[in-house]
Amino acid sequence: MAAAPPQSAAPEAHAASAFASTGWEVVRVPEVALELNLPLASGWRALPGSAWTRLEHAASTSLLEVRVLRAERRVKPEDCAARARLERPELPGFAPEEAVDAQLVTAPPGFRAQQVVSVQEAPNGALAGEVSLYAAGVGRCFITHFITRFSGPQREQEISHRLALVTDRIIPSLRLRDADTRVAPEPFSK
């Protein structure tokens, strides 16, 4: 199992409304030149102290982690997954016993990616859901890992809802800003 999601001070029974289908905003993550859409953006905060860029949503006991790595020019998603799992062996793999869904996607733009969704039991009767994206672009790997936890009478439905929001809304919204889009062009001299 991957890194444990943050422990929420709020009861998990209220977490269903905390990871809503509404209130989406564009969030910029300057450390990795990333833009993405997140629900209730003001509820996410950056966590220090890791080579991975980590964003926590405490109210929903969720954690989003991002890593951009240099790679050989003709890198493949499988290569990026292998590199990510060298750093973080607990990340889900492609094996059928580890994943409830695995598919190729084109996210972020300019990358081919393997998206892996997994669900497993967590401590204290909670259910944990994860989405990992192993993306390969020209000369670089982009890895995204999302993990969330929920306990309660409808834990399967809530985890399913959250994972669907990640795969259907967050992953397609990922945008890495290249150098030419990060720097304002100089005006032409006359």
Domain ranges for the chain: 23-176
pTM above 0.85, yes or no: no
CA angle centred on 115, ends 176 and 95, rounded to 5°: 145
Kindly tell me if the per-residue pLDDT of 148 is higher than 90.
Answer: yes
Task: Tell me the pLDDT tens digit for each residue of 103-128.
Answer: 999 999 999 999 999 999 999 999 99
Reply yes or no on whether the pLDDT at 20 is more than 90.
no
Q: What sign does the dihedral 130-64-24-182 (CA atoms) show?
A: negative
Q: Which one is predicted more confidently, 56 or 181? A: 56
Q: Which is higher by pLDDT, 153 or 148?
A: 148
pLDDT band at 12 (very low <50, low <70, confident <90, very high): very low
What mean pLDDT is predicted for residues 130-151?
95
Distance in angstroms (rounded) separating the CA atoms of residues 18 and 16: 5
pLDDT of residue 7: 46
d(CA 121, CA 81): 23
What is the structure's pLDDT at 181?
A: 43
What homologous superfamily does CATH list for 23-176? Mog1/PsbP, alpha/beta/alpha sandwich (3.40.1000.10)
pLDDT in tens, 21-56: 778 899 999 988 999 999 988 889 999 988 999 999
Q: Which residues contact 178 (CB under 8 A, 6 or more apart)?
A: 33
Label residue 17 by pLDDT band (50, 70, 90).
low
- Pairwise pLDDT comparison (148 vs 40), residue with the higher score: 148
Half-sphere exposure of 65 (CA within 13 A, CB side): 24
Of the pLDDT bands very low, low, confident and very high (cuts 50, 70, 90), residue 146 is very high
